[in-house]
Amino acid sequence: MAGGDEVKEVRNQQVLARDYISAIPEESDMYLNTSSTIKLRVPDDDDCQEAMLLKNLYLSCDPYMRGVKHSDEAASSTLEDRIVFFATDKPITGYGVAKVLESANPKFKQGDLVWGMTGWEEYSIITATDSLFKIHNTDVPLSYYTGILGMPGMTAYAGFYEVCSPKKGETVYVSAASGAVGQLVGQFAKLSGCYVVGSAGTKEKVDLLKKKFGFDGAFNYREEPDLDAALKRFFPEGIDIYFENVGGKMLDAVLPNMRVHGRIAVCGMISQYNLEQPEGVHNLMHLVIKQARMEGFLVFNYYHLYGKFLEMVLPAIKEGKITYVEDVVEGLESAPAALIGLFAGRNVGKQVVLVSRE
Amino acid sequence: MAGGDEVKEVRNQQVLARDYISAIPEESDMYLNTSSTIKLRVPDDDDCQEAMLLKNLYLSCDPYMRGVKHSDEAASSTLEDRIVFFATDKPITGYGVAKVLESANPKFKQGDLVWGMTGWEEYSIITATDSLFKIHNTDVPLSYYTGILGMPGMTAYAGFYEVCSPKKGETVYVSAASGAVGQLVGQFAKLSGCYVVGSAGTKEKVDLLKKKFGFDGAFNYREEPDLDAALKRFFPEGIDIYFENVGGKMLDAVLPNMRVHGRIAVCGMISQYNLEQPEGVHNLMHLVIKQARMEGFLVFNYYHLYGKFLEMVLPAIKEGKITYVEDVVEGLESAPAALIGLFAGRNVGKQVVLVSRE
């Protein structure tokens, strides 16, 4: 770009982190900055050789977006994708859908739509553009690229198909089943000829599971004084596959109900994230008795399968074989409460923040 | 056998269970019956069509030999090998090495040596003879067929090679490392070019690990106030493979020290067996962070590999590349204390009971 050009400077509202956060964020850990501005161009800086200027359209609230404890931080330093989501006075970092306003990366051009890591603000300069995916199919809601067609979709796909290797006729249990990932795991399980039961925390969500997503059974875990009895009611012959989203007491109830050679894909443990110390899990000996496998996974290692995933899921969406429920709030100012609500289970379906329609 | 033959009747001392046991056995749960006799022939009964009369030479004390709680019993009904080890006024059931005195099973003949499930008595009539293995190699100590060449050996082999798929240069941690299984896992790890550290509960055992079994490092877990710090000392870069024999606090300390794509083979959890409720394990979220796998296994499903296993381990024994330490007590009357001692960690090496030399 010619240095002498007059560059347009516009308002750039941002959701900033107040402090370094070491736990589940609270609303007061974030604040809206309405006075910030941005020059609508990719800077000439050295670290911007492949940078892009994005206009953010949708932002995603995901359970992984929480503070990292010092010990976890050390542990996660071995990960390829060590991301700090909350850095003091910086915009929150998360997945989103955006439009390319300018690109120094030759793989993208102005007007392209992309999804991937962006900032909680109206416009973002992204230097790590390799982690952005170009959106080719726009005959589906764009917000789907924060959910069914984005990271949560790939998470459900990788965890269910790659980690659990489901077989027709097997029994599948999904916790947090109406969430961004769970609702898809349940529908994938039905498409694979499995029997699937999900749990969630409100009647509304349980109804969604049964009426909208076609689960064979569903229950409200808050209304079950005895989780073991609830699982035995739905799985008298036991569970072949457990898609683990919650951890703690639920995992402890599941373990004795696993079948021989059962598989547990550990996607997350959202019930544990706001505890000082995670709950103890007592029934791990059942892994031996049942010769069962429990495997943690991160979606980052499965993105090479994204093309294959789209080939399966796009037709399924268009033919109405898979449906997806989103909980969309409007405006950056609504984003902090939406993120907090996720950890309290307030969202119904995938939590999305609409920043701009185009 | 012709019905009119005079059949020799001899003394048959037995270790009997006093009652149905639902926990770790105590010495008072067993008693020696010195007044029993047995006719030295296979009975003509319908259930003895393929039965054999065995003279027991060695009996094996193994950690799995404990009472089965009612809930576990229901759970284990899906297993092929549901065995009640303690039935009131019946001889304890366990692995042993025996000589065939008479066989109605055409696969075996008088004079054969076998290993497999037998009774804690001088002579046994075995009806389930399919679970007995014929011993072909007698140029090793016969007692080895209760250990390195029997079930514990196959357990170490299956758990380490089949469940953990070790690669040269990986780091391996073994708990209860001087036991019947652990001492072999450590030596297999060294043969595979791994770095291996073991833990045990006495100085004597720790010395064995380092001096006799060639572990790269070893520690006494009872003398480590901080297990996490101990593991970090021996594994500054983390653990690729954990061979789990103890459970509880040790597992909780191991989880944060696992490396990315680490594997935990769950063989047993001996520290938990005598607790009313097993200890809680809090650090399971590290399975996700490390994309690690934890898998329970039972040796019964791996016996088809026994031939392959012998091909590897017999030459290694003869060439002195693998060594094996046994803790042999003499006489059936010593068997109850030997079994109890196992759960208190009193044995040094594989616990064997010598019943008869021939």
Nearest-angstrom CA–CA distance, B187 and B215:
7
Query: Which residues of chain A register pLDDT less than 70?
Result: 1-5, 20-22, 67-85
Instruction: Classify residue B229 by burial, with Cβ atoms within 10 Å: 0-12, 13-18, 19+.
Output: exposed
Give the residue from B358, B297, B265, B306 showing the smallest Cα distance to B116.
B306
SS3 state of residue A79 = coil
Residue B74 touches chain A, beta carbons under 8 Å: no
Nearest-angstrom CA–CA distance, B125 and B117:
11
The average pLDDT across B268-296 equals 90
Stretch 269-288 of chain A: residues touching chain B, C-beta under 8 Å: 269, 272, 277-288
* A131 Cβ contact partners less than 8 Å away, ≥ 6 residues apart: A116, A117
Mutate to test the interface with B, among A281, A290, A300 (most CBs of B within 10 A): A281
- The one-letter amino acid code at B333 reads E
Q: What is the pLDDT of residues A77-136, one digit of tens each?
A: 333 333 456 777 889 999 999 999 999 999 999 999 999 999 999 999 999 898 899 999
Nearest-angstrom CA–CA distance, A182 and A186:
6
Q: What is the pLDDT of residues B7-25, one digit of tens each?
A: 899 999 999 988 766 677 8
∠ CA A263-A152-A67, rounded to 5°: 95
Q: Quote the minimal CA–CA distance from B74 to chain A in Å.
A: 10
ipTM at complex level = 0.88
Q: Would you state the structure tokens that stand for residue B306, as one six-digit string?
A: 């026994």
Domains in chain A (CATH in brackets) are 9-147+325-354 (3.90.180.10), 151-300 (3.40.50.720)
Identify the H or E element spanning B312. helix B306-318
Residue B198 touches chain A, beta carbons under 8 Å: no
Q: Would you state the structure tokens that stand for residue A297, as one six-digit string?
A: 């996974």
Residue B328 touches chain A, beta carbons under 8 Å: no
| pLDDT level of residue B69 (50, 70, 90 thresholds) | very low
Between the CA of residue B313 and those of B115, B308, B323, B328, what are the distances in Å? 17, 9, 10, 21
- Predicted confidence at residue B84, as pLDDT, reads 58
Closest partner residue to A266 (CB to CB) among B75, B287, B296 is B287
SS3 state of residue A179 = coil
Closest partner residue to A291 (CB to CB) among B279, B280, B298 is B298
Nearest-angstrom CA–CA distance, A29 and A118:
19
- The one-letter amino acid code at A106 reads P
Mutate to test the interface with A, among B62, B80, B285 (most CBs of A within 10 A): B285
Inter-chain residue contact A251 with B72, CB threshold 8 Å: no
Cβ atoms of residues A144 and A57 within 8 Å: no
Inter-chain residue contact A238 with B71, CB threshold 8 Å: no
Q: Quote the minimal CA–CA distance from A91 to chain B in Å.
A: 24
Residue B193 touches chain A, beta carbons under 8 Å: no
Q: Would you state the structure tokens that stand for residue B146, as one six-digit string?
A: 């209760």
Residue A289 touches chain B, beta carbons under 8 Å: yes
Closest partner residue to B280 (CB to CB) among A256, A279, A291 is A279
| pLDDT level of residue B72 (50, 70, 90 thresholds) | very low
Inter-chain residue contact B301 with A286, CB threshold 8 Å: no
Closest partner residue to A287 (CB to CB) among B266, B282, B286 is B266
- Predicted confidence at residue A87, as pLDDT, reads 76
- Predicted confidence at residue A78, as pLDDT, reads 34
* B53 Cβ contact partners less than 8 Å away, ≥ 6 residues apart: B40, B41, B42, B100, B101, B102, B103, B123, B124, B125
Inter-chain residue contact B251 with A284, CB threshold 8 Å: yes
Cβ atoms of residues A310 and A93 within 8 Å: no
- Predicted confidence at residue A82, as pLDDT, reads 39
CA-nearest residue of chain B to A276? B282
Nearest-angstrom CA–CA distance, B327 and B347:
6
